[in-house]
Structure 1
């Protein structure tokens, strides 16, 4: 996956929201089932573990 232009420059909430919008839009466009719980495990390094919940709003 090479479409990660924001990984080094993401410094504000607005930039985060833009990146999130782009990610969710691309996933939906490509028929990825994004709704539900997603867990990121940092695999033992110093990064934190995260859980993200995604639900479509009406």
Structure 2
């Protein structure tokens, strides 16, 4: 679980940096991409799964 949490934090940091670079350079497209990635990471964190990983279903749940 700690590993997933660290991965999520790292992904959130990367997205924040991307957004900041977009703001600094005036590139609205890059800024929007960073915001979109942050929302995806936040959503995955709320679901309890790291980005790109699915939650266990059926008999896999514990």
TM-score of the pair, normalised by structure 1:
0.41
Relative contact order (C-alpha < 8 Å, sep 6+): which is higher?
2
**More helix by proportion, 1 or 2?**
2
More strand, by proportion: 1
How high is the TM-score relative to the length of structure 2?
A: 0.39
